[in-house]
Amino acid sequence: MKRLAALLAALLVAPGALAQDAKKEIEKYQRMINDSSPAELFELEGESLWKKPQGPRNVSLERCDLGMGPGVLKGAYAHLPRYFQDADRVMDLETRLLHCMTTLQGRTREEATKRVFGNEDKPSEMELLSAYIAAQSRGVPMQPGGAHPKEIAAYELGRKLFFYRAGPWDFSCASCHGEQGKRIRMQELPVLSDPASARPVVATWPAYRVSNSQFKTMQWRINDCYRQMRMPEPNFASELTNAVNMFLTTTGKGEPYRGPGTKR
């Protein structure tokens, strides 16, 4: 037993030391890809899409009210998710855009959600619009809604969902995002239930992913996590995804938005 304990002790130190400078080098990599990132391209394309008349009513989204008045973009993303009186529910950016596509442009929900997640050959409307709109909140502290009863309920539901273990692999979000200093392979795992760890994440999503040259949104992020949790697929813009998003954004609120980010 003594030999084993000594060996285990040595092991615990060795990987720790390696991890430290690996962490430093990966942070350098992240800084460098943020300096020279093609994310701007998505913002530009998103702007032209925001202004492009579409749908049976042949109207652009420029009159869409993202919570700060019709067409107001400055800081709008930083105040989402929030409660919207006209829809009587809590909405994040993509959910609100879908609302405007159906109510302003007269598009059917089915058509507007046919392709919500794109690929590197063809990004989706939601991805391009998210890039442009999020960019208009640069420098504005993240401040999602938190006073309305439905906002509080969304946060509470999101918090429970974050810790709720289910599915064939018994995972919850906290299974991976629950303990400080943990990694999946070389991927650092922020503890998203801890404000200090959640703030830099919330301030840099949505983001451009260098690994597949795609621009990714929060709805995709939550969708893809449930995929890796071996769960069935969450409905796009559902109450469930908005609740998880509300919990994450509220936990990480207060940090000035500095996205869209560039990630692995």
186 binds other proteins (CB under 8 A): yes
Residues of this chain, 193-222, that bind other proteins according to CB under 8 A: 210-213
Neighbours of 34 (CB within 10 A): 18
Distance CA 37, CA 39 (A): 5
Bond from prior residue into 206 cis (ω within 30 degrees of 0): yes
- Verify binding: residue 1, other proteins, rule CB under 8 A: yes
Identified binder of other proteins from the candidate list 178, 195, 197, 258, rule CB under 8 A = 178
> Which residue among 164, 196, 200, 256 contacts other proteins (CB under 8 A)?
164
Q: Is 96 within 8 Å of 81 (Cβ atoms)?
A: no
Segment lying near other proteins (by CB under 8 A), choices 38-46, 48-56, 131-139, 252-260: 38-46
Q: Of these, 13, 17, 147, 184, which contacts other proteins (CB under 8 A)?
A: 184
Name residue 141's beta-bridge partners. 256
User: Which of 51/264 has CB closer to other proteins?
Assistant: 264
Contact call for residue 176 and other proteins (CB under 8 A): yes
Q: Residue from 120, 139, 196, 254 that binds other proteins (CB under 8 A)?
A: 120
Instruction: Identify the residue whose tokens are 């991976």.
Output: 176
| Binding flag, residue 15, other proteins (CB under 8 A) | yes
Closest CA to 215 of 127, 83, 100: 127
Q: Nearest approach, Cβ of 33 to other proteins (angstroms)? A: 6
Does residue 225 carry a catalytic annotation? yes
Identified binder of other proteins from the candidate list 20, 58, 108, 119, rule CB under 8 A:
119
Nearest to 128 by CA among 216, 212, 42: 42
Element (H or E) spanning 82, and its range?
strand 82-84
Among 13, 17, 35, 149, which residue interacts with other proteins (rule: CB under 8 A)? 35
248 backbone φψ class: left, alpha, beta (φ>0; ψ -120 to 50): alpha
Name the minimum Å distance from CB 175 to other proteins. 5
Distance CA 208, CA 211 (A): 9
The reply to whether 238 sits near other proteins by the rule CB under 8 A is yes
Q: How many residues bind other proteins (CB under 8 A)?
A: 72
Look-up: residue for tokens 């060996």? 7
Told to check if 58 binds other proteins by CB under 8 A, we report no
Please, what is the minimum distance in Å from the beta carbon of residue 40 to other proteins?
6
Please identify, using beta-carbon distances, which residue of 52 and 160 lies nearer to other proteins: 160
The Cα 55–Cα 107 span in angstroms is 5
- Residue 19 interacting with other proteins (CB under 8 A): yes
User: CA 34 to CA 262: how far, in whole Å?
Assistant: 5
Residues marked as catalytic: 225
